Structure 1
Amino acid sequence: MKRADLGEANPVLYHQSVPSFSMPEWATAAGYDGVVLDLQHGELGLEAACGILRSSPRRSAYTYARVGSLDPAPVLRLLDSGARGVIAPTIESRAEAVALVNAVKYPPLGGRSLGPSRPALYEGTSYTEAGNRAVSAIAQIETRTGVDRAEEIISTPGLDSIYLGPADLAVSYGLPGRGDWAEGPVREAVAHLREVTSAHGVTLGIYSGQPAYAAGLLAAGLVDYVALGIDLVLLNRAFVDTIAALDSARSPGSAA
């Protein structure tokens, strides 16, 4: 997802941490543009993630997977199953960004092995060139060290996007682990990363659990896309709201 390819769109994704095949369909029906299958946290394993990817349309542009490490073996399986982007967490150096690109991109940009196990996954006369255009290498910056080394990370050839983890970033600055910072070092980091990514034609995304906060970042042009919410958190919110509405309706004096 290079900035030149994004146009005026501001995709909205969500994090999925449970092995549900139906959840991406429900989210898309509700208006989400895509999903981050989260293999770093939660209950989602490699086999289930590959199955979910294969059940998704081949041309789902924002079907991403976040891996737990830079091990190229699971990255390769996720890509061959149809992942259109791989997010690698806690990138703090140029070497780690290079390793990410090497795992995600075909030669000459990287070292991904050619294994077209899903038919018509990429459109184009050259399968490898089409694959490199279709698949995004996404470095997650979520520490103070990563922010300090933003220029060397973001300038890595073949890197498509930066994904900001604001809660972990806040902790690295000695702050509480929340994400909706309107001022202070986390907000300053967002602005700094916006400046560097813009200079290199790389997109910038962020996780947020607060719709109003995410909308403000998008309106200000500080980010290109957001991941809005985590499946279990969204379900918990729905459960809490439903029980609260029932209790309110059953309380003395409520309308019959």
Structure 2
Amino acid sequence: MKTAALASGPKILVHQTLPSFSIPEWAKVAGYDGVILDLQHGELGLDAACGILRSIPRDNAYAWARVGSTDPGQILRLLDSGARGIVAPTIESREQAQALVAATKYLPIGNRSMGPSRPGLYIGDSYAEAGNLAVSTIAQIETRIGVERAEEIISTPGLDSIYIGPADLAVSYGLPGRGDWDDGPVRDAIVHLRELTQAHGVTLGIYSGKSAYTAALLADGLVDYVAFGIDLVLLNRALGDNINELKTALSTRNRS
């Protein structure tokens, strides 16, 4: 059983690391499909993330959260607050993928506890079945070991998607920690993961911070979704552009 959320279209999400209720709204208005609330990196704590999730409409299938581990306690809180996808980092084995599935899916697929705290979160004759369809279980592959064991991870029953962390993946191959690789082992890994995910009916996503690289990945059909940018990086860039524009204007006036 695969979730309905990832069935259509290429989707564009943004990583949110700041405890702000406004960022999901601004992202949606700007044209993003959703957010990944990042509890692994950044300033988001569990309580803040749960509050933000409750502010996002329940029908947004791309209200996702990235956790620091497969700890079921944190995952359960996020899901009960309305997270429609859980991304777990550095998955390197089938056992870790199974633990993620167990924490995110109700019986008979997983072992998620039945304790809904947000009314009307899943609609259907069977709350458990509707919940399993509504929640995307996403394993992040970002190491050489993860790539080598990719098929055993991807074929885990109940897993919906693979998310590539290209910078960490590059570091694991002894390369600089950047994400926009057009050749070499990172590119080979992307192609390999695409072949495996298509073979097993699982979707594939990646992080990217560059427009041209993102467009090429989507145009080549290598991924189904991209997390395009991080709020802190985008804010830093906007602040830098703003002050540099002012400095240029002042310099021009001083020369005239």
The TM-score with structure 1 as length reference comes to: 0.97
Contact 2:11 2:33 in 1 (8 A): yes
CA distance in 2 between counterparts of 1:22 and 1:5 reads 23
CA distance in 1 between counterparts of 2:75 and 2:61 reads 17
User: Structure 1 residue 239: deviation in Å?
Assistant: 0.6
Contact 1:204 1:225 in 2 (8 A): yes
User: Structure 1 residue 128: deviation in Å?
Assistant: 0.2
1:52 aligns with 2:37: no
The verdict on how the C-alpha distance between 1:72 and 1:6 changes in structure 2, with shifts beyond 3 A counting, is closer
Which residue identity does 1:245 align to in structure 2?
A: E
Contact 1:142 1:166 in 2 (8 A): yes
Equivalent position of 2:117 in the other structure: 117
Equivalent position of 2:176 in the other structure: 176
Equivalent position of 1:218 in the other structure: 218
CA distance in 2 between counterparts of 1:156 and 1:90 reads 15
CA distance in 2 between counterparts of 1:2 and 1:222 reads 20
CA distance in 2 between counterparts of 1:28 and 1:255 reads 42
Instruction: Deviation per CA, 1:186-238: give whole Å up to 9, x if none.
Output: 00000000000000000000000101101100100000000000000000000
User: Structure 1 residue 6: deviation in Å?
Assistant: 3.8
Question: Number of residue pairs matched?
Answer: 256
Q: Which runs of 5+ in 2 are unaligned?
A: none
Contact 1:249 1:255 in 2 (8 A): no
Contact 1:3 1:202 in 2 (8 A): no
Equivalent position of 2:186 in the other structure: 186
CA distance in 1 between counterparts of 2:163 and 2:48 reads 24
CA distance in 1 between counterparts of 2:80 and 2:144 reads 33
CA distance in 1 between counterparts of 2:22 and 2:59 reads 18
What RMSD in Å do the two structures reach over aligned CA positions?
Answer: 1.6
Moved over 3 A (4+): 1-8, 252-256
Equivalent position of 1:230 in the other structure: 230
Q: Which runs of 5+ in 1 are unaligned?
A: none
CA distance in 1 between counterparts of 2:5 and 2:14 reads 21
1:85 aligns with 2:88: no
User: Structure 1 residue 183: deviation in Å?
Assistant: 0.3
CA distance in 1 between counterparts of 2:200 and 2:207 reads 21
1:21 aligns with 2:6: no
CA distance in 2 between counterparts of 1:119 and 1:180 reads 42
Equivalent position of 2:141 in the other structure: 141
The verdict on how the C-alpha distance between 1:54 and 1:4 changes in structure 2, with shifts beyond 3 A counting, is closer
Instruction: Deviation per CA, 1:141-184: give whole Å up to 9, x if none.
Output: 00000000000000000000000000000000000000000000
CA distance in 1 between counterparts of 2:156 and 2:180 reads 28
SS at match of 1:113: coil
- Identity among equivalent positions (%) equals 72
Equivalent position of 1:128 in the other structure: 128
User: Structure 1 residue 11: deviation in Å?
Assistant: 0.9
CA distance in 2 between counterparts of 1:43 and 1:117 reads 24
The TM-score with structure 2 as length reference comes to: 0.97
CA distance in 1 between counterparts of 2:167 and 2:6 reads 26
Equivalent position of 2:40 in the other structure: 40
SS at match of 1:252: helix
Contact 1:2 1:203 in 2 (8 A): no
